[in-house]
Structure 1
Amino acid sequence: MRCVLISSRLDLRRYLGPEISLIADQVELVEWKKDGDPDVRLAMAWHPSNDAFSGYPNLRAICSIGAGVDNIVGCPSLKSEVDVVRVVDPGQAQMMSGFVAWHVIGHQRNFAGYQAQQRDRIWHSGPQRRADSLPVGILGYGAIGRKLAIDLAYLGFSVMCWSRTPKRPATAAIRSYNGPAGLCEMLNNTEVLVNVLPLTPETRGILNAQLFANIRRGGYLIQVGRGEHLLESDLLAALEDGQLTGAALDVFPSEPLPRTHPFWGHPKIILTPHNASDVSVRAVAATLVTTADAIRTGRRPPHAIDRTLGY
């Protein structure tokens, strides 16, 4: 099956690497053409241009190169009947979990304070906190949120998760919340807030002043969802007045982050260049193969999103 590569930001063929040749007998990768191609029924995309899908009338499914799909769902030339498929990669969830755990433990053990002491050549040992004294709230309880919750609970932290609809917690040690009332209740008991929500019209701007005000004073934000979840001016205000003591940010509305952005020099913010985790080439290849097979046999592809929900 012919699969067109579509991206306004990445050279997807280079991004996939040589391992993609393992599926060459099942999926033929072709470059995007302005004139399109009526024989193409499958696409792999990341941040497509507005007219990216216009020349592909027989397209049946689009696979995202990453876990996020909002950049594809929002494309004006995407037809409503075309399935959008997420890549599900356990390895990606594991990498994300390690990244988040590092920041949670950093807040628990005051590593930023000790780094500042080192710069000033100060030898002072502060009080230590047990993991079970630190309540962690996770926004989003999909595959990645579930992995974060399990691993943080295993490390001894008090873990809570919130989702739009009711979700059964993975273990008895994890508390689950849902809906607006559940969000307020979880936030009131949260010191470290981790965001792994999908980006939808309802979640855009969810990390705002009102939400920060509901977290325990002196809280900490770990933002690994989508850049558009965060109202940046509200975060700066929360850091200024001490409602939040710090933030770890990996995603931003504009990437690369402009060199003049105030986040760069902020003493309470840790920045990383959108590399908390990544999908593996093998996971992408497997998704392409299973999606192509579903198209051939007239089935809906595995991991196709609900377009009405956006995830």
Structure 2
Amino acid sequence: MMPPLGALRVFEAAARLASFSRAADELHVTHAAVSHQIRQLEEWFGRPLFRREKRGVRLAPEAERLAEALSASFERIAAEVESLRLRAKSEITVACIPSIATRWLIPALGDFLASQTDVTVKVVYAMAAQRLRETGCDVLITLGADLSDGVLCERLFSRVNRPVASPRYLERKGRLDDAERIAHADLLHDETTAHWQTWFARAGLQTTAARGPVFQDFNLLATAAIAGHGVALCPVEVCRREIENGDLIVLSDLSVLEQESYFLISKSSRHKAVSAFCAWFKGVVDPASEL
């Protein structure tokens, strides 16, 4: 015969916290309710389980083994409940740099959630220099590879940058189909003027390319280019949809940053929900990968 489970739960909390009041707070019941359950349990055992003192209660020595057994049992039950809950409803935390999040991840995320109704996705910002372990997330979508042990690093596409401008800017400025004309355009910079300097050097032009606004975030740069404020060096794969839609026009095949790429990173031993997400996102940026 067993005493009431509810009373045992109250006893375990009171024993662990050495306080009826704190047990009441943890269990979201009144102090009186805790005292009543303990009295019933003491009547059931036929002995006191606590020693009442001026500043609280102290577990009776003969009840210590019961308290230890109950604490271990409730911890195990809680762990199994949480495990079952997670198996029923998986949560994935995805760290993603803003340029990819706004252009590729978030616009398509509804399709993944519709196909994986038992999965919850949390999206957080990632910094370009971060690695998966530093984020504490399940998935990292970023610029640059993560070669850490125990990590699966899958290339999404190149960072190759080419000059782009909006149709409205070209209507105002006329033809910008060679480096010399581009050199006289309004230049927009992503974090540094160095990329434009490299581009003009490859075009064989002597120019500092130092004029024009510098944007700390690529999304700001792309917004300025689409709004018609000037010519920007943009990663054409990141801006693939804007180029296909005609919001941006590529002005030259001459490029910079060809050796850099964007990657999808996860743990080598990953949950099936993470595997499903990674397979889905690779299909988003490269539909041929799903074939």
Say whether the fold is shared (TM-score over 0.5): no
TM-score for the superposition, normalised by structure 2:
0.28
TM-score where L is the length of structure 1: 0.27
* Greater relative contact order (CA < 8 Å, ≥ 6 in sequence): 2
Flag the structure with higher helix content: 2
